[in-house]
Amino acid sequence: MKLLEVIGIEKSFGGNRVLKGVSFSMEEGEVLGVVGPNGSGKTTLINIIGGIVPQDRGKILLEGRSIDSLPAHRRARMGLGRTFQITRLFSNLTVLENVLIPLRYGSPLPSRPQVAEEILELVGLAELRDRPAGSLSLAQRKRLELARALALKPRVLLLDEIFAGLNPVSIREIVSLLRDLNRDRGITMLLVEHVLKALFQLTRRVIVLSEGRLIFDGRPEEMANSEEVVKAYLGERYRGK
């Protein structure tokens, strides 16, 4: 059985058809990249999977069970973790307090402080535990958002442009962190991303969206062999690579 199945998803906003029958599935432990030009429907797709936006047609299955009728918080409790391109933290609370909040939904009260400390250690923020979240750098905020998602013990992590705006050093560090989470904890990951160099270090499979349609599903190194992908997204410099 597939861990996550997306079947015939369609979505329109007004008269604009953003997604047009998108279908794919993921195995447990897989890391899947989702790429495409701006406006191709990537963030709408991840919002639908996470329960933030309802689809017009189609189904989302988690371990064969339909989750279409479940709100975002119910999906999170079932194992769908989420980060956002623009981080959504409690800026006036400390780093530690930001992680303690989602732990209310999955960890016994006596163990929460210890679990929060362990998560902060894992993402490299332990020394900043008492800092207000609003005082963190962009790279640190993205790590904290990842820590909050990990607090729910996700089986699937939905990551929306986690590398956006980061310098090369920060990108390498987060690539290493995500690789460790996938290898050591078996967390399945779906990454919406534009930083292809970083993405290709993590995944063996990529899907490409263009104008709301899925136009490619395969290995990253095969993308440049697709005339449609080159034309819609990669550009002529990638042709034949």
Q: Both 88 and 121 in a single domain?
A: yes
Give the pLDDT confidence of 58-75 residue by residue, as tens digits: 999 999 999 999 999 899
For residue 63, the 8-state DSSP code is: T
Predicted pLDDT at 104: 77
For residue 26, the 8-state DSSP code is: E
Q: Both 116 and 29 in a single domain?
A: no
Contact 141, 29 (CB under 8 A): no
Q: Both 162 and 64 in a single domain?
A: yes
Q: Considering the entire predicted model, what is its pTM?
A: 0.90
Strand order in the sheet with 16-26: 16-26, 4-13, 57-62, 65-66
- Where a domain ends, among 136, 153, 170? 153
Q: Average pLDDT, stretch 199-214?
A: 94
**How many domains are there within the chain?**
2
Q: Which residues contact 227 (CB under 8 A, 6 or more apart)?
A: none
Rounded to an integer, what distance in angstroms lies between the CA atom of residue 62 and that of residue 158? Answer: 13
Confidence band, pLDDT 50/70/90 cuts, at residue 107? low
Q: Both 89 and 175 in a single domain?
A: no
Q: Both 31 and 138 in a single domain?
A: no
Predicted pLDDT at 22: 97
Q: Both 42 and 118 in a single domain?
A: no
- Where a domain ends, among 153, 179, 201? 153
Domain that holds residue 123: 83-153
**Structure token pair of residue 119:** 């998560």
- Where a domain ends, among 153, 176, 199? 153
Q: Compute the Cα dihedral for 182, 185, 190, 194 and give only its sign.
A: negative
